[in-house]
Amino acid sequence: MRLDRFLSNLPRFNRQEVRQLLTSGRVRVDSQVCRDSHSDVRVFSRVELDAEVLQAGKAARYFMLHKPPGVVSATEHPEHRTVLDLLDEPDTHDLHLAGRLDLNTSGLLLITNDGQWSRRVTAPTGKQPKVYLVDTEDPIDPACIEVFACGLYFRFEDLLTQPAELQILAPRQARLTLYEGRYHQVKRMFGHFQNKVVGLHRLSVGAIQLDDRLSPGQYRTLAAEEIAGFEIN
């Protein structure tokens, strides 16, 4: 919400008073004097007027989880354990997932209470690289490299996938970098070559790499620079 609207919503100030408060430099947002009426006030912002706290600001929370296979990427599920069940944190109902992984996929999953941040992480046009380690049932046809780089036609969505980079590491193992996140995308891409994905593990999203000190099921809070990679500068 705009700062001037936030202040006008308080019953004690009319619009003219709000303008005066702002020009006189009495309002601080996140500890900085703020005179810009268009400044964005979020639930996470701390807003002060002189020595008075108008809004304390909720704590923004960001986690990376090493998702194990067999745990659902959802906030609730009638049968399976969900990734939120793995977090020993208060108010997990306030958290949501910044992207999903299939039930049997493992690896990096981002969890937050900041909707603006998670929308940037998951934006289909965000072009943030997502890197996967893929194990397949049959040997990987080297023709995949060229086809994935050119884009594959997905009939259901009627689109051509973004150019993806495939690096074959072993006859049945590859590293795949995608710049989008379509439904079951990796499995469908290998499915085009009648090759079944038997193991899928996400290594990174944008600049955030899965911390190799985390065992499956473990998590940690994100560092400031990891969060900043998806913030508007």
> E strand or H helix at 27, and its extent?
strand 27-29
> What x-and-dash track marks residues 59-98 binding ligand URA by CB under 6 A?
----------------------------------------
**Of 135, 166, 136, the residue nearest 148 (C-alpha):** 166
Question: Does 45 engage in binding with ligand URA (CB under 6 A)?
Answer: no
Candidates 105, 113, 136, 195: give the one binding ligand URA (CB under 6 A).
105
What type of residue sits at position 47? V
**Of 16, 46, 43, the residue nearest 34 (C-alpha):** 46
140 with 168: CB under 8 angstroms?
Answer: yes
Strand partners, 132: 176, 202
Pairing type for strands 32-33 and 52-55 reads unpaired
Question: Does 5 engage in binding with ligand URA (CB under 6 A)?
Answer: no
Question: Does 108 engage in binding with ligand URA (CB under 6 A)?
Answer: no
Which residues have a catalytic role annotated?
Answer: 102
Candidates 102, 135, 141, 180: give the one binding ligand URA (CB under 6 A).
102
> What x-and-dash track marks residues 172-191 binding ligand URA by CB under 6 A?
------------xxxx----
Contacting ligand URA within 115-154 (CB under 6 A): none
With tokens 């941040």, the residue in question is: 117
| Interface contacts to ligand URA, rule CB under 6 A | 101-102, 105, 184-187, 200
